[in-house]
Amino acid sequence: MKILIITGCAGAVQGWGDLETTENICKVIRESGSEVEILYVNNRDELIQGLDSLTYDIVWSALYHVSNNEDYIGVASDELWVADILDQRGIPYIGPDAKTMRTLIDKSATTFILREANVPVPEQHVIHPGETIAKETYPWFVKPRFESESAGISEKSVVHSDEELKSRLNFIHDTFRQPALVEEYLPGSELTVAVLGNGKDRKILPVVNVIDKSAYKQYPLVTVELKVKDLITFEIPRRNFDEAVALAKRAAEVLKCHDHIRIDMREDVRGKLKVIEVNGIPGLNPIKSRSLQIHALYHLGYSKADNFSKLIHTVITSAIKRHKLTGSRSDSPVDEQMLVTEEYR
């Protein structure tokens, strides 16, 4: 089995992680006896040339779309979407399919589809550059429509007046060159749920974010600052475990997700969980990615390195099974070591 990993300079900003993360993933793949190669691309031509000239069985992309922007995700033109290019060539890949990838990077499209399917989501307005909105009641939450990794999020994202709202909209429009979302502020706990595997093998692993009161002024939000300083820890939720599992399951089904996604949700003013985001390419940093930390909480007694390796193998074997790649274009059998069968809980 040979895996081709596609990445580029936007790998970190699009959520997966930097080149070091990718190299760590390659290391655990090699340790399992499989082959892996990195295709680092700067533009669409390099991607197509690599896809057409290399030999591999399945692709794993760290990129939603090919981009030179290391600072933010931004809005991609149509021809740059990696999963679309893979579909055009009939190449199997790990993770959600092309249509779902486009939906997941667009928080407004995700919310729309979930709302139509009666999955609880916050009230949300899309505000384009040059436009604004006035509200009768406050607070509201303002964030970019297409970003990841808490870009543009701080306690100033919670606005209390028309003036604050306008100023935050200007900030999002000027910084990220894209529409902003004005969302119902969800004041309760925040959960993040790793969804691994497919069908009857799917594992849904919720954790609650724990942020010490001394780490923030007024609003406990997942900000870059708190993430960098490791001020957010995770626990298996007791209070709303079943609600989180049911919500994540439903969201993953409605959005037709595969292999590995991570869903963020928060409690509204009544304590009811609502989905704020579905990550189609969750972070895979071998030390501090949330998927790894979640996996470790559900596999106590294993080292961090073992947990990382199990997580990577679970994602890969889920995709191999889903694509029914029992043989291999490079004529080696699926590695037994990669078939993770052990139960989680």
Ligand X SMILES: Nc1ncnc2c1ncn2[C@@H]1O[C@H](COP(=O)(O)OP(=O)(O)O)[C@@H](O)[C@H]1O
- Which residues contribute to the site for ligand X (CB under 6 A)? 107, 122, 141, 143, 147-151, 153, 183-186, 190, 221-222, 264, 266, 276-277
- The interface region with Mg ion, picked from 87-95, 235-243, 269-277, 331-339 by CB under 5 A, is 269-277
Closest approach of Cβ 151 to ligand X, in Å?
Answer: 6
Listing DSSP states for 116-174 in one string gives HTT-----EEEE-TT-----SS--EEEEESS--TTTT-SGGGEE-SHHHHHHHHHHHHH
CB closer to ligand X, 34 vs 209: 209
The answer, yes or no, to whether the previous bond of 237 is cis (omega within 30 of 0) is no
Question: Which residue's CB comes closest to ligand X?
Answer: 222
Amino acid at 169: L
Among ligand X, Mg ion, none, the one that 197 touches (CB under a kind-dependent 5 to 8 A) is none
CB closer to Mg ion, 73 vs 85: 73
329 CB-side CA count, 13 A? 14
Tell me which residues in 129-188 interact with Mg ion (CB under 5 A).
none
CB closer to ligand X, 192 vs 314: 192
CA distance linking residue 19 with residue 7, whole number of Å: 8
| Binding flag, residue 277, Mg ion (CB under 5 A) | yes
Closest approach of Cβ 227 to ligand X, in Å?
Answer: 10
Closest approach of Cβ 147 to Mg ion, in Å?
Answer: 9
Cα 318 to chain centroid, rounded = 17
CB closer to Mg ion, 268 vs 277: 277
User: Which pair of tokens denotes residue 1?
Assistant: 């089995």
- The interface region with Mg ion, picked from 31-39, 70-78, 138-146, 277-285 by CB under 5 A, is 277-285
With contact defined as beta carbons under 8 Å apart, do 159 and 168 qualify? yes
From the CB of residue 89, how many other CB atoms can be counted at a distance below 10 Å?
A: 10
CB closer to ligand X, 57 vs 183: 183
User: Which pair of tokens denotes residue 152?
Assistant: 């543009």
Positions that interact with Mg ion (CB under 5 A): 264, 277
